[in-house]
Chains A and B, each alone.
Chain A
Amino acid sequence: MKQLTNRSKVVSDKSMTMAEAAYLPAVFTGLGITLKHFFRKPATLKYPEQKREFTAVYRGRHVLKRDENGAERCTACGLCAVSCPAEAITMVADERKKGEENLYREEKYAAIYEINMLRCIFCGLCEEACPKQAIFLTTEIAPASYEREDFIWGKDRLVEGVESTKRIDITARQDR
């Protein structure tokens, strides 16, 4: 039969030689390979004490941005939810009342905004669909947990803080 690649090996059923039947050379070869790895640089990091450097466009956990005055940008238009292939996002909108102009940028805002982090596949389509530059993915990893409830992220965990120290910088992703 004609070979498509030269990677396939021809199987033979010839009987083993004396050295092969003793197995010991093969055992020592394997031990040697293991030993070699003791002196190599490990491929893993001691997370969370050590953290790996990510590119600026790494797709980690989400953030709901505020504008420069500290008002939430999200207007609950639902485009992130409809673009989400995993259907991880749900939201309930509400109307902004008088006196809440410093809290919400538009007359409509998301009263409830939830992302199911177990469903999320971190594809970034929500960020791409957002017409208000409200939702972004960050370079942070979504933390693990023992409880399933901990993975339903509400606005308390998604919206960034008002103070300048608690803002999450995403300018690098916007400039790309």
Chain B
Amino acid sequence: MSLLKVTIDNHTIEVPAGTTILQAARLIGKEVAPPAMCYYTKLATSGGYCRTCLVKVSKGSEKDPRPMPKLVASCRTTVMDGMEVQNFTSPEVIEARKGVVEFLLINHPLDCPVCDQAGECHLQDLSYENGRSYSRYEFERRTFDKIDIGDKIKLHMTRCILCYRCVKVADQLTPGRGHGVINRGDVSEISTYIEHAVDNEFSGNMIDVCPVGALTDRTFRFKSRVWFLKPMDAHRDCDKCSGKAVVWKYGNDIYRVTGRKDQWGEVDEWICNTCRYDKKDAKDWTVEGPRKIEKTSVISQNHYEAGTKFVASPETLPVKQLS
């Protein structure tokens, strides 16, 4: 298979045909990878909604060197041979991304002190790293009532940024589709159609894929803040899933269980609802050791082991899926 040469922010890499700009940028490293709120490597057809991954293609390809007329969504644009892409080096991209963040935050309630996602929220990271510190929006924000999706998941529609990741989880991970998006445009909302409970074994993964605090674990609701807990890699024998998870401990108590996320915030292996909700006894799990948390994360606060940089293992590289 021939490899295509692509240059992103002056880093050149060779990738197989069909790779998107975002995947190529992630292969180079965190310094050039555009942020992504809706794209999820493990969910097919995800991406293209949030526009945070916009990049500038200053040279289309070797054969046709004209630049692309507008900024393109890097998660949905595949690379061409000789393509040159500007991400953080382009002031136009940085300005456009500020606008996108402002749009995403227009209806976001900013109730971070109450929200369980605070501290591991991608929208917090995104707005801190790429956004403005103020908003020009002065109208009333859209509000919804809180909805219980089943007895384990709480939906705060006001916090949702409509990334569709949870809908893809319901579509692709669980046999019967339990929930989707109803209505259109700025009134669209995640719904289960008359609040039908989502009760299949892998539905809990929609909590992990949600980049904001729209879908949260009701068994962990207001129990603690993520930075007071100590994440530990742990596993158990499970007949439904791999059993590899992260247990969030406070002393010897397990407050919650989540999937293991890689450096892009994406779950490595889906875990089942039994592991996630019902196994909160320390005896259920074999603890492998403390999870390595990036030093810049608030979760590493007051934990005394040195934070280490993530190193992408070959299994987690997105390129593998393309062959």
**Are A94 and B222 in contact, with the CB atoms below 8 A?**
yes
- Count of CB-CB pairs between chains A and B under 8 Å: 39
A79 contacts B113, CB within 8 Å? yes
Q: Does B306 contact A (CB under 8 A)?
A: no
Please name the residue on chain A nearest to B301 by beta carbon. Answer: A82
Query: In whole Å, how far is B222's beta carbon from the nearest beta carbon of chain A?
Result: 5
In the complex, what distance in Å separates the CA atom of A14 from the CA atom of B53? 83
Q: Answer whether residue A77 sits at the interface, using C-beta atoms and an 8 A cutoff.
A: yes
**Residue interface bits A139-172, CB-to-B below 8 A is 1, else 0:** 0000000000000000000000000000000000
Q: Please name all residues of chain A whose beta carbon is closer than 8 Å to the beta carbon of B111 when the two chains form the complex.
A: 106
- Provide the bound-state CA to CA distance between A41 and B38, in Å: 72
Q: How far is the CB of A135 from chain B (nearest CB, A)?
A: 12
Cβ-defined contact, A93 with B224, below 8 A: yes
Minimum CB–CB distance for A71 against chain B, Å: 14
CB atoms of B301 and A106 under 8 A apart: no
Residue B118, interface by CB 8 Å: yes
Q: Could you tell me the dominant secondary structure of chain B's interface residues?
A: loop
Q: Is B298's CB within 8 Å of the partner chain A?
A: yes
**Per-position contact with B for A37-79: 1 when CB-CB < 8 Å, else 0?**
0000000000000000000000000000000000000011111
Nearest residue, chain A, Cβ from B114: A108
Contacts of B221 in A (CB 8 A): 95
Contact A95 B222, beta carbon cutoff 8 Å: yes
Does residue A87 face the partner (Cβ distance < 8 Å to B)? yes
Asked if A77 contacts B112 (CB within 8 A), the reply is yes
Q: Which residue of B lies closest to A81 (CB)?
A: B228
Query: 13 new A-B pairs (CB below 8 Å) besides A75-B114, A82-B302, A93-B223?
Result: A77-B112, A77-B114, A77-B225, A78-B225, A81-B228, A82-B227, A92-B224, A93-B222, A93-B225, A95-B222, A106-B111, A108-B113, A108-B114
